[in-house]
C-alpha cells in the first residue's frame, strides 16, 4: 500500500506560556527551530497546544507566528476547531491565506447533531477550504466516535478530505479506516494520535502519527518510521518498547499538555510547566515520576 499524502511523524506542538499565562513566543521559537529539522509536520493549536484555552485572536497570531518561523521547512497543519462556526470560517480563511498544508477539525461537540448534521458540517467546511482537510476523531473529548462508514462516504466522494487523525484506543478502528478507505484511496492518510499505536498503525498499512511525545523525543518517534521502512524489525521492536515506556509519562501528569511541558522543562528547554485553567501544573511528586521515566530511557540524567 502506498504512503498517504501526509506520512511520518507530525508534532501536535505545545503552546508555551509565561508565568502570567501569556504566550511565550521566545520559547516557542526555540522549540519550533528544534522540531522543524526533525519531524515531518507540525500541528498548530492542537489539543496538546491547549486550543480550547486560546482566544480566536491568539489562534490566528500563533498560526502566523509558526508559519513565519517554519515557513516551508515541514508540512504545517492548522486546527480550525471551534464551537462557533464563524470562528471556524475565520480559521479556514487564515490557514488558506498562509498556505498551510492542511486543516484539521474535531467533529461537533457539546451540541451534537445527528449523523446527517455531522456529515453536512464537514461538507460545509469542504465547500469553503482551498486546502485539504483531515478529520480528528477523539471520542474521549467529544463523547462519541465518528463512524468509519460516515468518513468513508465523504472520503470517496470528496477529494479534499485527505485523512483522519484517530485518537481512539482501538486498533480495529485504524484497521477499518485502512481497509475501507485507504485501500480505495491510497493518498488518504490514516494517522494515529496514540504513540502506543504508532508501530501497529504502520505495520497495518497506516501512515504514522500525530503524536505529542515528538515535542521532545522526535528522534525516537522518527526511528520507528525509519526502522519500519528499512524492515529492521529487531530495531523496530526495541523502538516500540521504548515508546510504550515513554508513554507512561501521561499516567503521571494531570494532562497531556502538562506531561509534555514537564518533560521539555526537565530536558532543559526554556519551557515553563505553566498550563492554562482548567488544567493544573504538575506537582513535584509527578515531576519526579516523569523524571524517572525520562532517566530510564537516558533522555535526562
Dist. CA 226–CA 242, nearest whole Å:
15
In angstroms, the Cα distances linking 286 to 67, 187, 245 are 34, 41, 16
**Annotated catalytic residue within 165, 261, 274, 286:** 165
Q: If we measure between CA atoms, which residue out of 209, 229, 294 comes closest to residue 259?
A: 294
Measured CA to CA, the distance from residue 196 to residue 14 in angstroms comes to: 20
CA 100 distance to own-chain centroid: 15
Count of residues in the chain: 301
Q: Which residues of 246-264 are buried (b: 16+ CB within 10 A; e: fewer)?
A: bbebbebbebbbbbbbbbb
Q: Is 11 an annotated catalytic residue?
A: no
Name the active-site residue from 36, 81, 100, 136: 136
d(CA 301, CA 293): 11
* Residue 286 CA neighbour count, 13 Å, CB half: 20
Distance in angstroms (rounded) separating the CA atoms of residues 265 and 270? 7
- Count CA atoms closer than 13 A to 193's CA, side-chain side: 26
Catalytic residue among 11, 47, 167, 192: 47
Q: What's the rounded Cα separation, in Å, for the pair 57 and 69?
A: 18
| Whether 121 is catalytic | no
250 classed as catalytic: no
Positive or negative: CA dihedral 262, 253, 82, 186: positive
The catalytic residues are 47, 136, 165
Amino acid at each position: 500500500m502506498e504512503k498517504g499524502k501526509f506520512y511520518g511523524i507530525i508534532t501536535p506542538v505545545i503552546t508555551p506560556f509565561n508565568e502570567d499565562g501569556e504566550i511565550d513566543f521566545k520559547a516557542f521559537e526555540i522549540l519550533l527551530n528544534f522540531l522543524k529539522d526533525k519531524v515531518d509536520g507540525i500541528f498548530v493549536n492542537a489539543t496538546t497546544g491547549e486550543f480550547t484555552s486560546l482566544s480566536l485572536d491568539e489562534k490566528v497570531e500563533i498560526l502566523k507566528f509558526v508559519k513565519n518561523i517554519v515557513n516551508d521547512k515541514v508540512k504545517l497543519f492548522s486546527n480550525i476547531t471551534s464551537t462557533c462556526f464563524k470562528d471556524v470560517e475565520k480559521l479556514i480563511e487564515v490557514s488558506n491565506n498562509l498556505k498551510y498544508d492542511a486543516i484539521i477539525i474535531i467533529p461537533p461537540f457539546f451540541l451534537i447533531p445527528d449523523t446527517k448534521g455531522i456529515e453536512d458540517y464537514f461538507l460545509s467546511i469542504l465547500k469553503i477550504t482551498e486546502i485539504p482537510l483531515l478529520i480528528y476523531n477523539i471520542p474521549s473529548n467529544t463523547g462519541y466516535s465518528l463512524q468509519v462508514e460516515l468518513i468513508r462516504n465523504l472520503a470517496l466522494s470528496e477529494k479534499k478530505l485527505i485523512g483522519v487523525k484517530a485518537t481512539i484506543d482501538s486498533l480495529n478502528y485504524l484497521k477499518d479506516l485502512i481497509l475501507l478507505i485507504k485501500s480505495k484511496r491510497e493518498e488518504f492518510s490514516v494517522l494515529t494520535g496514540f504513540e502506543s499505536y504508532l508501530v501497529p498503525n504502520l505495520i497495518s498499512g497506516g501512515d504514522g502519527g500525530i503524536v505529542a511525545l515528538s515535542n521532545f523525543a522526535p528522534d525516537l518517534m522518527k526511528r520507528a518510521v525509519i526502522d519500519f521502512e528499512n524492515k529492521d524489525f529487531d530495531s523496530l521492536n526495541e523502538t516500540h518498547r521504548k515508546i510504550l515506556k515513554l508513554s507512561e509519562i501521561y499516567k503521571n501528569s494531570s494532562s497531556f499538555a502538562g506531561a509534555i511541558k514537564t518533560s521539555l522543562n526537565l530536558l532543559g528547554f526554556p519551557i515553563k510547566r505553566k498550563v492554562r485553567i482548567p488544567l493544573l501544573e504538575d506537582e513535584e511528586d509527578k515531576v519526579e515520576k516523569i523524571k524517572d521515566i525520562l532517566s530510564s530511557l537516558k533522555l535526562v540524567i
